[in-house]
Structure 1
Amino acid sequence: MKRRDALRSLALITGGLVLVPACDFSKDDILSAYKNLNVTTSQQKLLAQIADTIIPAGYIKGASDLAVQDFILVMVNDCVDSEGQKSFSDGLSAFDAFSKKSGGKVFDKLEVPQREQVLKTVLASEGEEDKTIRAFLNTTKRFTIQGFMMSEYIMTNVKPYSLIPGDYNGEVLIADLKSEKING
């Protein structure tokens, strides 16, 4: 009986070793959650770095801490028309090349001030060749701010959302009121 188990195990191991060279582990997989976009995991990480450059972590959490990149991809996948999705995908694909051209390195190898400068360069450019990258970055910026402000963390910890304006207390002096400031 043990000989049969040994032969079965040997056959399984041999079959597995035969199939391993056929597997290509170097290729970056396309995320299947976004049907209308062909986004790889490396592009998702790049999008997280761009969002974190737009809203960095500091006193409160940053955009990548709240997984805003997933919100951006869902919004582009579900709410943007096919032309906008194509423009977004093209801009995301071409962003690293633009970063290398303007900043000297790919985006994830740059320091924070250099990343900010690359984003400012894209937004300030007027050229026709940077049109897709500029459209991509404008869409990313819009959805980064929207996703950040609508996140559970912001709505519960930073600026608590109240469905009703609050209890009425007529004996409070205006000088005693303090306003919640989330921007400074």
Structure 2
Amino acid sequence: MNRRIALRHLALISGGLALIPSCDFSSDDILAAYENLKVTASQKQLLGDISNTIIPAGELKGALELEVPDFILVMVNDCMTSENQMLFSSGLAAFPDYAKNKAGKKYDKLTAKEKEDLIQAGIDLKPAETPEEEKDRAIMYFLNTTKRLTMQGYMASEYIQTEIIPYSLIPGPYNGAALISETQKPRING
């Protein structure tokens, strides 16, 4: 082999190895399931953490176990106007910075009580008309929409409608003399 070619290859390899530590291979790809929203996997996980803070798991399954974040993203993607979708997306993108500024830590490092207080403070924001408060408006809209859709998705889930509060499309027979006991599940007739 020619010595010049060997030295050229050695220089290219060492230059490439010197650049590898500066490369960022941890790209956060946009999820393709939602055409109108530009949501990444980390943002979807954050949305799951927020919805799980709103309805945590206990005796009953929590919002995260019932896949409520998917419901939220589908509802925002399919049922909202483009302006509201943009407001929701910008609020979702601005929420980690808001959490870090307000609480001093990342959202996932907070305790359950701190998360609840942070979400409540975000819902209660009073934005003005300056560009800085536009972020507050987006965060307030994002948290209000997330709270509303979390409750809607949770109550409309198959688990709630079949196991917790049985849904009957057609009312059953009328029995006016029956006593309602605490062990009997309530019936919701549509």
Report the TM-score range of the alignment, normalised by the length of the smaller protein.
0.7 to 0.9
Give the corresponding residue for 2:82. 82
How many residues are aligned here?
Answer: 157
Give the corresponding residue for 1:168. 174
| Structure 1 consecutive aligned stretches of length 4 or more whose deviation exceeds 2 Å | 167-170, 178-181
Give the corresponding residue for 1:151. 157
- Identical pairs, percent: 54
Superposition deviation, residue 79 in structure 1: 0.2
SS in structure 1 at match of 2:168: coil
Give the corresponding residue for 2:73. 73
Give the corresponding residue for 2:123. 123
- 2:52 paired with 1:49: no
Question: Quick one: distance in 1 between partners of 2:47 and 2:117?
Answer: 16
5+ long unaligned stretches in structure 1: 1-20
Give the corresponding residue for 2:181. 178
- 2:64 paired with 1:64: yes
SS in structure 1 at match of 2:105: coil
**Could you list the per-position Cα deviations for residues 35-70 of structure 1 after superposition, in whole angstroms to 9, with x for gaps in the alignment?**
000000000000000001111111101101101000
Question: Quick one: distance in 2 between partners of 1:169 and 1:132?
Answer: 51
Superposition deviation, residue 151 in structure 1: 0.3
Superposition deviation, residue 24 in structure 1: 6.5
- 2:146 paired with 1:136: no
- Please tell me the residue identity of whatever aligns with 2:160: I
Q: CA RMSD in A?
A: 1.7
Question: Quick one: distance in 1 between partners of 2:144 and 2:167?
Answer: 27
Question: Quick one: distance in 1 between partners of 2:160 and 2:26?
Answer: 38
TM-score (norm 2): 0.78
Question: Quick one: distance in 2 between partners of 1:164 and 1:178?
Answer: 22
The answer to which of 111-120 and 160-169 deviates more is 160-169
5+ long unaligned stretches in structure 2: 1-19
